[in-house]
Amino acid sequence: MASPLLNEAVFQKEAQASGRPWAMVGHDKGTMTVAGTATATGVLLALLVVAAWFGWGQTSPMTKTVNPISGTVTYTGGRIPTWIFVAGLVGFIAAIAGQFVPKLSPILGPVYALAYGTVVGAISAFYETWQGGIVMQAVLATVAVFGVMFFLYASRIIKVTRKYVLIVIGAMAGIFLMYIVAMIASLFGANWYFWANPTPLGIAVSIGIAVVAAASLAIDFAFIEQMSHSSAPRYMEWFGALGLTIGLVWLYLTILRVLSLLRQ
């Protein structure tokens, strides 16, 4: 998604801290480039895939039972180790810490990819047990959406204007608020996770979230390109890569949910 990591204020803060104009930041050790950010992103995604493979293998798969009379299918069992949730928390903290300490992005990025990758792998394993073949479909769909959004941005069919950014960020804020309200409601026994149910409303909302996730990628592309042209310090390549990786993870999980709802 258009990660909160990727915002102009962070780069300006780094420039002010250095006591030099923004365009002069990082010249001592090299400057940020689009190619360098792409390489860093590739490294983080590779680490995330390895961690996801490991997390996949740590789960206990559900058992599928078919009633011979009614034909009803039920799923029982299945378990995700507690430590994987701890790993998810570590990944979340790494992502947040990147907002405040950009210089540590070369460390925080891999930590996020390895920690959160295990969570993605565990979640994917459960979906695959429940609905065979869905994970590969979600991966291919995510790659396709990323490719389409990159093409639309690179060809300037999509122009990341201030209005575009405000609309997408506003939608993301609404989604975040919806998540928070649902979480608080669940603490009091209410189930407000309507977008996780295979109803017309649930499917529509989930598709809407996926659209926002896809649209936010253009903001990430624009920000990385602009900051590279502004001679940001080289470690910001990892900062940009971390933000883009977070967005891709969000997009994948959203697409996974949409496909699951459509299959039910």
Kindly report, residue by residue over 120-147, the tens digit of the pLDDT: 999 999 889 888 899 999 999 999 999 9
Distance in angstroms (rounded) separating the CA atoms of residues 106 and 87: 19
| pLDDT category of residue 158 using cuts at 50, 70 and 90 | very high
- Nearest alpha carbon to residue 210 among 162, 156, 164, 141: 141
**Of 57-71, 133-147, 229-243, where does mean pLDDT reach its minimum?**
57-71
Instruction: Work out the average pLDDT over 28-43.
Output: 88
- Number of domains making up the chain: 1
* 3-state SS, residue 73: strand
- Nearest alpha carbon to residue 206 among 167, 168, 253, 173: 253
- Residue 1 located in a structural domain: no
* Alpha helices in 155-235, H assignment, sequence order: 162-187, 200-229
| pLDDT category of residue 43 using cuts at 50, 70 and 90 | very high
Contacts of residue 50, Cβ cutoff 8 Å, sequence gap at least 6:
114, 117
* Alpha helices in 23-159, H assignment, sequence order: 34-57, 82-100, 105-130, 134-154
- Residue 181 located in a structural domain: yes
pLDDT averaged over the chain? 85
- Residue 117 located in a structural domain: yes
- Nearest alpha carbon to residue 236 among 9, 26, 23: 26
- Residue 2 located in a structural domain: no
- Residue 63 located in a structural domain: yes
End-to-end CA distance of the chain: 27
Distance in angstroms (rounded) separating the CA atoms of residues 139 and 22: 38
Distance in angstroms (rounded) separating the CA atoms of residues 246 and 254: 12
Residue 24 predicted with pLDDT over 50: no
Residue 2 predicted with pLDDT over 80: no
Contact 216, 247 (CB under 8 A): yes
- Nearest alpha carbon to residue 115 among 88, 85, 80: 88
Domain that holds residue 122: 8-263
**Of 17-31, 46-60, 85-99, where does mean pLDDT reach its minimum?**
17-31
- Nearest alpha carbon to residue 255 among 145, 112, 133: 145
Give the side-chain half-sphere CA count within 13 A for 86: 3
Distance in angstroms (rounded) separating the CA atoms of residues 75 and 69: 17
Run of H or E including 16: helix 8-18
- Residue 3 located in a structural domain: no
Residue 198: both structure tokens together: 């295979």
Distance in angstroms (rounded) separating the CA atoms of residues 104 and 109: 8
